[in-house]
């Protein structure tokens, strides 16, 4: 099958790649662009480890085709920090010990940022429901909720 | 210098919560896991798996697959060295079926190709002729003498005559006169339970990259809990010497026991050898569920006698575990742990392992204990209900303590069970009011903990910083804890230390990251390695000062003259000694290696409140508190993390998670949509209370904490649900359909 040429923007940088029609955005990010921060935990949209933003909308990169990135703006975990300054969410996850193995962490951070972009002052329940699509098997989520809320507080009062 | 071996109880760094050294890498997406690396010229491999639960392999024809353009090699069992050792042979036969396929998803061939699409297409061209055989997936059915036999000739001599060949081993533990004990009871309750097999559910599927060169040297990158064990297994299967195979553990995306063996690693090596190119294999989630380690499924009978005032007079358990299609010793650990929380004069546990056409069991956090203790703690709770006794008071009255002869043999040293039970009793959660329809449950839990083979190197850099090389993959923050213990012992700041995990060629053997052993055993080796370096630094200072090295002590990160020389010379800090080390005898390093003993058993108590929705059968967890003895919490945040994470895995096991097999012997729910692990919105906050009853076997008192927390939730939830709905389910998980069924009966 004929490959597709795609021009897109990833974390603000113009990027181009060639992909097969069936390649997922996750395949393309990881295998064509070397951006391995988004993880494949299931490939069926059930675990959220591949969470990225597509034109500002939170998506599972494993459920989006690479070809759909044409002309779009993609946001990944690699674009969350501002140079060598961590995003408040990233710092908060370290401060609150909100990660153990860390495999779900990139997806959860991207999802949490998408939440705070829409709702800077969520309740704990809102955080829990927003992150219900991101599986974490290590932490029991408790410290993740604290970390998101503390980051939200710091961002509101900054 | 003279070493001070008295236990340390006052700490500067241990007990604080510094940032973890791998934190920034993990929040920026930079940390490299199993699937995150590539190599020039790399091929991708996919694995052909059996669609049958049980079948003889009559023939495998790989010629059409090999002829496909882009396919570089195909391997089958014939490409591996057949093993004499039974357990090694089982691991190999599980990686690549030889004569029979033993479960739905059992691997039997693999293809390496230039692209993943070609490798997948080639799998369809492999022609396998199967002769289907009758199958069995239920442990009780498999024990019947007329059941299909999964593997012949695998029963140990311990198995009584006349049982099915599927019964591979039998064990027995206990002491005292059971009949006399039951005769003394005012009430005897005997119940039967079943628990479903569950999966560890790590979010990272197994992944590896193997590269073998024409001279027989190989490098293997993989996500594993034990790179040395991977080396041992793969070297045997490939017929290599250990020195020629270097295994590097990637960052690991969860393991929980499930990454303590190999599945794809020897396959990637064999394909790399055949092709002369690097080969990468990444499992799909479907493959992870079908072909990697679930827990045992179990069927358990428990009988306990109790006096009117709550004293247990006799206790007995019969445990039937199935570790899938291969012999499995997990039932022994269930039989040993079942009654470990109790001080009993008459106790007996019997266990049987049974073969079924299910995937080979892999360890899962306290393997064997959650099932056994679920059954025991359920019967204890029912006795308390029937006798009108407080369940915490009854556990306190019967609790194991220092000097108790445990139900599995050893006599306990200092243990924290009573303190943990008392903490639960004193906690506001225990007396908080419950609304109508809500129920509160509790359970105690236990795990042995483990030490094992360990070695650590500690290098003092000339700028006054320290590098630690250890050999255990970090699955829960252990690099932070090890750096803290080194900082404590050396008397230097935490941020002056960097701890890395070595590949198999850079450090001597270390046992797998399991048994809650790393903070205990690697921590202990780190402390000893630091003491070794301190002794050398004291010696260097003595040489500089021209005094006897026995007259130098180490205080707050500096060598000081002591005894008659006290005050004669200003102290020399670690940095000052390190800076001149090239002039005083060369680089300074400490090392320690041992086979660690004295891990110190661990107890926990969990309290949970639930509410059941009578329309849907769904159980809502309202409040959850974990109490556990950590001995000494080195990094309390990560101790809490273990307690919370283990509790939530146990909640999943109790309420939803299960392997569901159809009558056709096929797994029906091999994905996260249908195998439902807890999500954030299912859960309340998980409160934690850390007790610190020092382990006499560790200089800081550390006990392993990782496994115990998955043990109590099963019975705690079951006891809470039974008190909420007034009827007891003796089967896990208590999924909504099962709850609805119990309600309609009740």
> Which of B245, B706, B242 shows the shortest CA–CA distance to B474?
B706
Using one digit for the tens of pLDDT, what is the confidence trace for B581-604? 999 999 999 999 999 999 999 999
Q: How far is CA B576 from each of CA B216, B593, B604, rounded to the nearest angstrom?
A: 46, 28, 45
Q: What average pLDDT score do residues B458-477 get?
A: 96
Chain A residues touching B644 at Cβ < 8 A: 139-140, 142-143
Q: What average pLDDT score do residues B281-310 get?
A: 98
Q: What percent of chain B has pLDDT over 90?
A: 97
Using one digit for the tens of pLDDT, what is the confidence trace for B82-127? 999 999 999 999 999 999 999 999 999 999 999 999 999 999 999 9
Tell me whether the omega of the peptide bond preceding residue B733 falls within 30 degrees of 0, making it cis.
yes
Q: What average pLDDT score do residues B546-555 get?
A: 94
- Asked whether the predicted pLDDT for residue B686 surpasses 80, the reply is yes
Q: How far is CA B19 from each of CA A91, B428, B524, B636, B673, rounded to the nearest angstrom?
A: 10, 31, 21, 12, 34
Does A28 touch chain B if contact means CB atoms closer than 8 Å? no
Taking an 8 Å cut-off on Cβ atoms, the answer to whether B641 and A106 are in contact is no
| CA distance linking residue A36 with residue B669, whole number of Å | 28
| CA distance linking residue B603 with residue B293, whole number of Å | 26
Write down the pLDDT at residue B623. 98
Which residue(s) pair with B342 in the sheet? B399
CB B143 within 8 A of CB B166: yes
Write down the pLDDT at residue B6. 64
- Asked whether the predicted pLDDT for residue B418 surpasses 70, the reply is yes
Q: What is the DSSP string of B709-726?
A: GGSTHHHHHHHHHHHHHS
- Asked whether the predicted pLDDT for residue B4 surpasses 70, the reply is no
Write down the pLDDT at residue B745. 80
pLDDT band with cut points at 50, 70 and 90 for residue B746: low
Beta-carbon contacts below 8 Å between A and B: 184
CA atoms lying within 13 Å on the CB side of residue B47? 32
Does A15 touch chain B if contact means CB atoms closer than 8 Å? no
Q: What average pLDDT score do residues B216-223 get?
A: 97
Find the helix packing angle between B369-387 and B391-398, rounded to 10°: 120
Residue B416 in tokens: 């924290």
| CA distance linking residue A102 with residue A104, whole number of Å | 6
Taking an 8 Å cut-off on Cβ atoms, the answer to whether A101 and B677 are in contact is no
As a dihedral over the C-alpha atoms of residue B500, residue B501, residue B507, residue B510, rounded to 10 degrees, the angle is: 140
Where do we find the tokens 């308390």?
Answer: B384
- Asked whether the predicted pLDDT for residue B2 surpasses 60, the reply is no
| CA distance linking residue B213 with residue B735, whole number of Å | 51
Using one digit for the tens of pLDDT, what is the confidence trace for B716-726? 999 999 999 99
* Range in B43-47, B465-469, B546-550, B731-735 the model is least confident about: B546-550
Q: What is the DSSP string of chain A?
A: ---EEEEEEETTEEEEEEE-TT-BHHHIIIIIS--TTS--S-SSSSS-TTEEEETTEEEEGGGSBGGGGTT-EEE-GGGTSBTTBPPHHHHHHHHTT--SS-SSHHHHHHHHHHHHHH-SS--HHHHHHHGGGS--SSS-SHHHHHHHHHHHHHHHH-
Question: If phi over 0 gives left and psi between -120 and 50 gives alpha, with beta otherwise, what is residue A66?
Answer: alpha
> Which of B148, B700, B186, B253 shows the shortest CA–CA distance to B476?
B253
Chain B residues touching A136 at Cβ < 8 A: 203, 680
Chain A residues touching B475 at Cβ < 8 A: 100-101
CA atoms lying within 13 Å on the CB side of residue B277? 17
Q: Which of residues 180-209 of B touch A (CB under 8 A)?
A: 200-205
| CA distance linking residue B382 with residue B587, whole number of Å | 64
Q: How far is CA B531 from each of CA B208, B534, B537, B592, B700, rounded to the nearest angstrom?
A: 37, 5, 10, 9, 14
- Asked whether the predicted pLDDT for residue B3 surpasses 60, the reply is no
Interface test with B, best of A33, A80, A101 (most B CBs within 10 A): A101
Three-state secondary-structure class, residue B649: helix
- Asked whether the predicted pLDDT for residue B7 surpasses 80, the reply is no
Question: What is the value of ipTM here, to two decimals?
Answer: 0.98
| CA distance linking residue B441 with residue B199, whole number of Å | 24
Chain mean pLDDT for chain B: 97
Query: What are the per-10-residue average pLDDT scores of chain A (158 residues)?
Result: 93 97 97 97 98 98 98 98 97 98 98 98 98 98 98 96
Residue partners of B112: CB distance under 8 A and separation at least 6: B43, B44, B45, B71, B72, B73, B74, B119, B271, B272, B274, B275, B277, B279
Instruction: Write the residue in A86, A91, A103 that is nearest to B253 by C-beta.
Output: A103
Write down the pLDDT at residue B476. 87
Find the helix packing angle between A142-157 and A105-118, rounded to 10°: 40
- Asked whether the predicted pLDDT for residue B276 surpasses 50, the reply is yes
Write down the pLDDT at residue A116. 98
């Amino acid at each position: 099958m004929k490959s597709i040429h795609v021009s897109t923007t990833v974390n603000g940088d113009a990027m181009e790649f060639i992909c097969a029609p069936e390649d997922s955005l996750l395949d393309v990010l990881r295998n064509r662009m070397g951006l391995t921060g988004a993880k494949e935990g299931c490939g069926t949209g059930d675990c959220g480890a591949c969470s990225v933003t597509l034109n500002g909308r939170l998506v599972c990169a494993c459920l989006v085709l690479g070809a759909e990135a044409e002309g779009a703006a993609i946001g990944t975990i690699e674009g969350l920090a501002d140079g060598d300054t961590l995003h408040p969410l990233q710092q908060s996850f370290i401060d609150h010990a909100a990660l153990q193995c860390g495999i779900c962490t990139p997806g959860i951070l991207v999802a949490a940022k998408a939440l705070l972009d829409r709702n800077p002052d969520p309740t704990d329940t809102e955080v829990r429901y927003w992150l219900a699509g991101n599986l974490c098997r290590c932490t029991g989520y408790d410290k993740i909720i604290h970390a998101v809320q503390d980051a939200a507080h710091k961002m509101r009062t900054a | 210098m003279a070493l001070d071996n008295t236990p340390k109880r006052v700490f500067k760094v241990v007990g604080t919560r510094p940032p973890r050294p791998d934190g920034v890498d993990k929040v920026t997406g930079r940390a490299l896991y199993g699937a995150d690396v590539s190599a020039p010229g790399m091929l991708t491999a996919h694995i052909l798996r059996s669609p049958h639960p049980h079948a003889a392999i009559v023939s495998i024809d790989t010629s059409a697959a090999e002829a496909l353009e882009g396919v570089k090699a195909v391997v089958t069992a014939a490409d591996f060295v057949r093993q004499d050792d039974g357990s090694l042979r089982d691991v190999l036969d599980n990686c690549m079926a030889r004569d029979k396929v033993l479960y739905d998803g059992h691997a039997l061939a693999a293809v390496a190709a230039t692209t993943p699409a070609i490798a997948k297409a080639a799998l369809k061209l492999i022609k396998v002729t199967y002769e289907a055989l009758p199958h069995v997936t239920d442990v009780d059915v498999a024990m019947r003498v007329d059941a299909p036999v999964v593997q012949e000739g695998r029963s140990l001599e311990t198995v009584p005559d006349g049982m099915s060949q599927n019964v591979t081993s039998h064990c027995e533990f206990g002491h005292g006169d059971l009949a006399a004990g039951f005769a003394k009871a005012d009430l005897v309750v005997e119940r039967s339970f079943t628990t479903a097999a569950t999966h560890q559910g790590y979010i990272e599927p197994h992944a590896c990259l193997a590269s073998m060169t024409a001279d027989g040297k190989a490098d293997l990158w993989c996500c594993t809990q034990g790179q040395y064990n991977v080396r041992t297994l793969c070297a045997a299967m490939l017929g290599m010497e250990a020195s020629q195979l270097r295994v590097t553990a990637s960052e690991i995306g969860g393991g929980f026991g499930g990454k303590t063996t190999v599945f794809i690693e020897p396959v990637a090596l064999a394909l790399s050898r055949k092709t002369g190119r690097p080969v990468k294999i990444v499992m799909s989630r479907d493959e992870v569920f079908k072909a990697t380690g679930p827990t045992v499924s179990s069927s358990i009978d428990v009988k306990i006698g109790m006096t009117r005032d709550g004293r247990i007079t006799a206790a007995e358990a019969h445990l039937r575990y199935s570790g899938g299609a291969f012999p499995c010793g997990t039932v022994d650990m269930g039989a040993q742990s079942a009654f470990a929380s109790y001080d009993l004069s008459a106790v007996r546990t019997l266990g049987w392992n049974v073969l079924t056409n299910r995937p080979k069991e892999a360890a899962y956090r306290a393997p064997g204990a959650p099932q056994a203790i679920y059954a025991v703690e359920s019967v204890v709770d029912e006795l308390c209900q029937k006798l009108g006794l407080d369940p915490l008071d009854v556990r306190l009255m019967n609790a194991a303590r220092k000097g108790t002869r445990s139900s599995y043999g050893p006599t306990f040293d200092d243990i924290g069970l009573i303190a943990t039970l008392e903490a639960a009793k004193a906690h506001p959660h225990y007396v908080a009011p419950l609304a109508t329809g809500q129920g509160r449950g509790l359970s105690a839990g236990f795990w042995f903990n483990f030490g094992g083979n360990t070695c650590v190197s500690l290098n003092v850099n000339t700028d006054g910083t320290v590098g630690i090389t250890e050999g255990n993959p970090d699955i829960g923050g252990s690099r932070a804890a090890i750096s803290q213990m080194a900082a404590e012992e050396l008397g230097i700041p935490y941020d002056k230390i960097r701890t890395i995990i070595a590949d198999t060629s850079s450090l001597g053997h270390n046992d797998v990251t399991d048994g809650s052993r790393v903070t205990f055993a690697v921590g202990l080796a780190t402390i000893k390695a630091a003491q070794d370096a301190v002794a050398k630094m004291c010696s260097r200072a003595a040489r500089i000062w021209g005094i006897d090295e026995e007259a130098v002590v180490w205080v707050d990160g500096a060598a000081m003259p002591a005894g008659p020389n006290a005050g004669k010379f200003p102290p020399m800090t670690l940095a000052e000694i390190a800076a001149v080390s090239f002039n005083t005898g060369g680089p300074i390093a400490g090392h320690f290696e041992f086979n660690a003993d004295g891990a110190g058993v661990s107890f926990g108590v969990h309290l949970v409140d639930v509410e059941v929705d009578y329309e849907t059968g769904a159980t809502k967890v309202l409040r959850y508190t974990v109490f556990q003895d950590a001995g000494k919490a080195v990094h309390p945040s990560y101790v809490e993390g273990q307690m919370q994470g283990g509790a939530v895995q146990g909640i999943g096991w109790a309420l939803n998670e299960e392997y569901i097999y159809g009558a056709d012997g096929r797994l029906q729910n091999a994905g996260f949509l249908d195998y439902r692990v807890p999500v954030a919105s299912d859960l309340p906050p998980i409160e934690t209370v850390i007790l610190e009853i020092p382990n006499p076997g560790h200089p800081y008192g550390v006990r392993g904490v990782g496994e115990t927390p998955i043990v109590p939730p099963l019975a705690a939830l079951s006891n809470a649900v039974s008190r909420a709905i007034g009827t007891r389910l003796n089967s896990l998980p208590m999924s909504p359909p099962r709850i609805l069924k119990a309600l309609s009966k009740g």
